[in-house]
Amino acid sequence: MGFTSDKGSRSARPLASVSFADCRVADSKAGAVNVQPGYRVTLLTTKGDEAAALVDAAFVAVVGALHNWAPGEAAGRRWERLSLLLVGAPQYPEDGLVGVDLLFTTGARFDGQP
Give the tens place of pLDDT for each residue, 31-65. Answer: 899 999 999 999 999 999 999 999 999 999 999 99
61: in domain: yes
β-partners of residue 20 are 39
Angle (CA) 104 64 103, round 5°? 15
- The CATH number of the domain holding residue 68 is 3.30.2000.10
Quick check: 85 pLDDT over 90? yes
Question: For the segment 4-38, what is each residue's pLDDT rounded down to a tens digit?
Answer: 445 555 555 788 999 999 999 988 888 899 999 99
Domains identified in the chain, total number = 1
8: in domain: no
Q: What share of the chain is helix, strand, coil (3-state, %, to 5)?
A: 15, 50, 40
Interatomic CA distance for residues 41 and 84, integer angstroms: 10
* Spatial CA neighbour of 1 closest among 93, 86, 110, 98: 86
Domain of residue 59 covers: 15-111
* Upstream peptide bond of 14 is cis (omega within 30 degrees of 0): yes
Three-state secondary-structure class, residue 28: strand
The residues near 76 (Cβ < 8 Å, ≥ 6 apart) are: none
The pTM of this model reads 0.83
7: in domain: no
State how far the alpha carbon of 50 is from the alpha carbons of 21, 55, 56, 91, in Å.
29, 9, 10, 22
